[in-house]
Chains A and B, each alone.
Chain A
Amino acid sequence: MNKLSILHSSSVLPQPDGAWKEGLPRAIKMRSPRIWQMAYAGTKALLEQVTVPPQSLISATALGALEETKLFLDGLYTEGFGSPRSFIASVHNSMAGKLAIDFKIPGPNLTICDGQNSFASALVTASLLQKSDFPVLLLAIDERTTLLDELTPYLSDSCKQFINSQWEEAAIAFLLDHSDRPGLPQISAYGPKPVESIPTEEELEAWAKEFHAECKPLPLSETSDSFIKPALSIQNIIANKGANNSAVFSYSPSAKAMAATHLCL
C-alpha cells in the first residue's frame, strides 16, 4: 500500500476513576453505550488538535459493542424483549455511524473487523480511498467486558497469548493524509494474510528486515495480546518518539492470520 502521513493521533484508555468521561456531552454520558462514549472521547481528543476536519471515517474493531450485544440477548432471554438501543449499538458500524453524525464527517464510513489485525487492515482500507476522501479519521476501538473476562480462562493455551486476563481496552484515533508529507510520521500496513502457524520471532525478524526496521520487532505476545494492542503500540512509538523505523506485527488466532504495520517517524 502507499504510505499515509499521520497528521495527528490521540488515545483514550478508560480508567476506573472515570476521568476520561470529562468533557463528554451530557446526552452522550447519560444515554450512550459505554463503547460509544469511548469512541466519542477518542475522537474528540483528536479533533481538538486538527485544523482540517476529517472527510471520512474508518473504525477498526474486533468485536464492536460486545457489551450491548450481551445486554440485548440478556433482555431477550430473561424478559422476552431486547432493547432497541442495544440492538442498534450491537451493529459493528454503530460507532462509526454515530461519530459521523456527531462530528459531521460526510464521506465514506467503514468498519473493519479483523481481530488483532483490524488496525493494519483498516490502514490498507484507508489507502484505497480517493484523494478527496482525505483526511481520514481512523479509530481503533475495542472494549473489555465482564463476559470476556469470564470467558478468557477457558480459552486454549495458545489463544491465551492473544486474549489474556490482562487485556486492554482503548479508543485510539489517527488523522491520516494521503500524501507523503515531509516531517510527519509515515505509516503503511501489509495483510492480513493467512498463516499456517503462529509466526516465530525469527520469522518476524526476517519480515522486519524487509521493512528495514531499525530494531528487533516486539514479540507477538506483546503486540497482539489484546485486540487494541497493535494500534496502541504504534501510538506509543509516536508519543514516546521511539525508533525512526519500526515494524509492529499482529496475529489473530480466530482468523489464523497475521499483519504488519510499518512506521517511519
Chain B
Amino acid sequence: MTAIPIISTGAICSAGVSVEASFSAIAEGKNCLTPLTRFDHGLKQDPLCGQVTVEPDTISGVETANRSLGLAMAAATEALAVVSNIADLRLGVICATTVAGMTRSELFYKELLSNPEAIKKAYKELLSHEPGSITGFIAAKTKAQGFHTLSTACSTGLHAIGMAKQLIENNTYDLCLAVGTDALSLLTVRGFASLMLIDFSGCKPFDANRVGISLGEGAGALLLGSPKACKSLGIKPLAQISGWGASADCHHMTAPHPEGDGAKRAAEAALFQAEIDPKAITMIATHGTATPDNDSAEIKAMESIFKQLPPFCSMKGTLGHTLAASGTLESVFAISALLQNRIPATAGFSAQDDSIGYTPAQPSTVKHRHILKNSFGFGGNNASIVISATEHAHE
C-alpha cells in the first residue's frame, strides 16, 4: 500500500478559526465548551457545547445555504490556501456530514407547522437539506472534477480521509480534499438528550466520573495529494496517511461491543494497511466521547492490540463531540501534534477510572513516528487511520 502525503489542513471549531489558532488550546487541554444559547433548545439547562462564535461565511468569504456548509467552506478555504495553480491537476472532494442542512430544515419545518404558507419556500429548503448538496457546492467552488458524500454517523470523518487516500492511490485524482463538517442543531442536541447521553456539566473523557458527551460543531479539512502532485506543486508534505481500516460491531445500534471487538478490527486493519508494527505507534488520538461504555470499550480494544498502551488523548473535552466533523478535525490536530512532537492534554479528565486502569497522557513531548486515530459511530460503525511522519512511513 502507498502512504499518501498530506499537503495542508484547515479547521474551524470552538477552539479557534484556523489550525494554528486552535491547536494551542488543544495541546494545553483548554476547556472551550460554553452554554448553548444560540438557539432555543427547550432543555431545562443550557448544555455546555463546543461552539463556533464567528459567522463561518465571514471566514471563507463565500455565502452559503446552511451552517454545516459554511463551516465546511471555512475549513476547505484554509486547506486550499497553500496551493495555487492546480487547474492542471484532478481535484476530488470527499465530504462527511450527518447534520447537513438540518439547521435550516428544522426551522423551516417548525414554521410550516404553524404557517402553511411557508410551503412555498419548499424548493430551496429541500435542496439545502440533502447532504450531497454540501459536497456539490464545495466541488463547484473549488472546480473539482468529482466528489462523494459520506454520512456514516460519527465515524464518517475518518472514512472520508480513507476514501480520499484510496482515490489518490488508484489514480482517480491527483489531489483530494477530505472535509468533515457538522453544525450544532436542535435535532442532534435534543436527540442525544433523549438518549440521556449528554453531560450537562461538560464531558470528562476516561474520567471515573464521566457520564456522557458534550456536543460541538466545526469542520476539519485535509488536502491529500499524490507524491507526483506534491512534486509538481513544489510542496513538502506535512505528514502522510498510511492506513485506513473500517469495521462493524454487529452488536447494538447505540452501544459499542463491550470488549471493543469491532474497534479492534478497524484499528488492526489500519495498522495492516500501513504495514507498521503496533509498537511504532507513538500516540492514540482516541474517539474518547466520555460515555461510560464507549471509553471502556475503546480502551479494551486498544489493550488487545498493544502490549503496552501508547500515550493517548481525547480532544472532545476541548471541542465537544463534533459528530461527522470529529474524525477530520481531530486528525487535523493530531497532524499538528505530530509536527510539533507533542501529546495533547485531555480536557475534562481529572480522576482515574480504576475499571479502565489507564489514564490519558499529561501534555508532554515525544518524537512522533505514527499516530493512530479512532472514530466510532451509531450502529457499531468503526474507523481508524494511521497518520505517519513523512520519514517514518512503512517502517
Query: A residues near B, CB below 8 A?
Result: 1-2, 56-57, 62-64, 69-70, 72-74, 76-78, 80-84, 87-88, 90-94, 96-98, 100-101, 104-115, 117-118, 121, 124-125, 127-128, 130, 148, 150-152, 154-156, 159, 163, 191-194, 252-257
Contact pick for A90, options B146, B187, B265, B377, CB 8 Å: B187
In the complex, chain A residues whose CB is within 8 Å of the CB of B113: 74, 77-78
Contact pick for B248, options A70, A97, A113, CB 8 Å: A97
Contact pick for A110, options B127, B152, B167, B192, CB 8 Å: B152
Chain B's nearest CB lies how many Å from the CB of A57? 7
Complexed CA–CA distance, A101 and B192 (Å): 21
Complexed CA–CA distance, A237 and B190 (Å): 44
Complexed CA–CA distance, A111 and B31 (Å): 33
A193 touches B145 (CB 8 A): yes
Name A88's closest neighbour in chain B (CB-CB).
B253
Indicate if B191 sits at the interface (CB-CB under 8 A): yes
Contact pick for B153, options A72, A97, A151, CB 8 Å: A97
Chain B's nearest CB lies how many Å from the CB of A14? 22
Q: Which residues of B216-275 have CB atoms within 8 Å of chain A's CB atoms?
A: 246-254, 262, 265, 269, 273
Name B251's closest neighbour in chain A (CB-CB).
A101
In the complex, chain B residues whose CB is within 8 Å of the CB of A254: 126-130, 132-133, 136
- Known A-B contacts A93-B151, A125-B163; the reply to A1 vs B146 at CB < 8 A is no
B126 touches A107 (CB 8 A): no
A-B contact pairs, 11 of them (CB 8 A): A57-B248, A64-B151, A72-B191, A77-B113, A109-B152, A109-B379, A112-B148, A114-B131, A154-B122, A193-B139, A256-B136
Complexed CA–CA distance, A83 and B187 (Å): 11
Indicate if B355 sits at the interface (CB-CB under 8 A): no
In the complex, besides A125-B163, A128-B166, 9 extra interface pairs with C-beta distance below 8 angstroms are A69-B102, A77-B109, A82-B190, A109-B152, A193-B139, A194-B144, A252-B136, A254-B136, A255-B139
Indicate if B172 sits at the interface (CB-CB under 8 A): yes
Chain B's nearest CB lies how many Å from the CB of A153? 8
In the complex, chain A residues whose CB is within 8 Å of the CB of B119: 150-151, 154
Complexed CA–CA distance, A151 and B250 (Å): 37
- Known A-B contacts A192-B136, A257-B139; the reply to A106 vs B120 at CB < 8 A is no
In the complex, chain B residues whose CB is within 8 Å of the CB of A156: 123
- Known A-B contacts A62-B130, A81-B194, A151-B122; the reply to A109 vs B381 at CB < 8 A is yes
Contact pick for A255, options B109, B123, B135, B159, CB 8 Å: B135
In the complex, chain A residues whose CB is within 8 Å of the CB of B379: 91, 93-94, 96-98, 100-101, 109
Complexed CA–CA distance, A65 and B106 (Å): 15
In the complex, chain A residues whose CB is within 8 Å of the CB of B13: none
Indicate if B38 sits at the interface (CB-CB under 8 A): no
Name A74's closest neighbour in chain B (CB-CB).
B113
B252 touches A101 (CB 8 A): yes
Complexed CA–CA distance, A80 and B193 (Å): 12
Q: Which residues of B90-117 have CB atoms within 8 Å of chain A's CB atoms?
A: 98, 100, 102, 106, 109-110, 113
Q: Which 5 A-B pairs have the closest CB atoms?
A: A97-B379, A255-B136, A87-B191, A108-B246, A92-B151
Chain B's nearest CB lies how many Å from the CB of A222? 21
Chain A's nearest CB lies how many Å from the CB of B58? 25
Name A195's closest neighbour in chain B (CB-CB).
B140
Chain B interfacial residues counted at CB < 8 A: 68
In the complex, chain A residues whose CB is within 8 Å of the CB of B152: 92-93, 96, 109-111
- Known A-B contacts A105-B248, A254-B136; the reply to A154 vs B123 at CB < 8 A is yes
B127 touches A114 (CB 8 A): no
In the complex, chain B residues whose CB is within 8 Å of the CB of A148: 126
Determine which residue in A78, A98, A255 has the highest number of CB atoms from chain B within 10 A of its CB, and name it.
A255
A163 touches B190 (CB 8 A): no
Complexed CA–CA distance, A94 and B254 (Å): 10
Chain A's nearest CB lies how many Å from the CB of B262? 7
Determine which residue in B128, B150, B156 has the highest number of CB atoms from chain A within 10 A of its CB, and name it.
B150
A111 touches B151 (CB 8 A): yes
Name A73's closest neighbour in chain B (CB-CB).
B109
Complexed CA–CA distance, A218 and B183 (Å): 39
In the complex, chain A residues whose CB is within 8 Å of the CB of B100: 113
B132 touches A252 (CB 8 A): yes
B163 touches A69 (CB 8 A): no
Indicate if B357 sits at the interface (CB-CB under 8 A): no
Complexed CA–CA distance, A73 and B185 (Å): 12
Indicate if B206 sits at the interface (CB-CB under 8 A): no
Complexed CA–CA distance, A200 and B248 (Å): 42
A101 touches B126 (CB 8 A): no
Complexed CA–CA distance, A182 and B194 (Å): 52
Indicate if B306 sits at the interface (CB-CB under 8 A): no
Complexed CA–CA distance, A154 and B247 (Å): 42
A256 touches B140 (CB 8 A): yes
Chain A's nearest CB lies how many Å from the CB of B164? 10
Complexed CA–CA distance, A2 and B169 (Å): 13
A113 touches B151 (CB 8 A): yes
Indicate if B380 sits at the interface (CB-CB under 8 A): yes
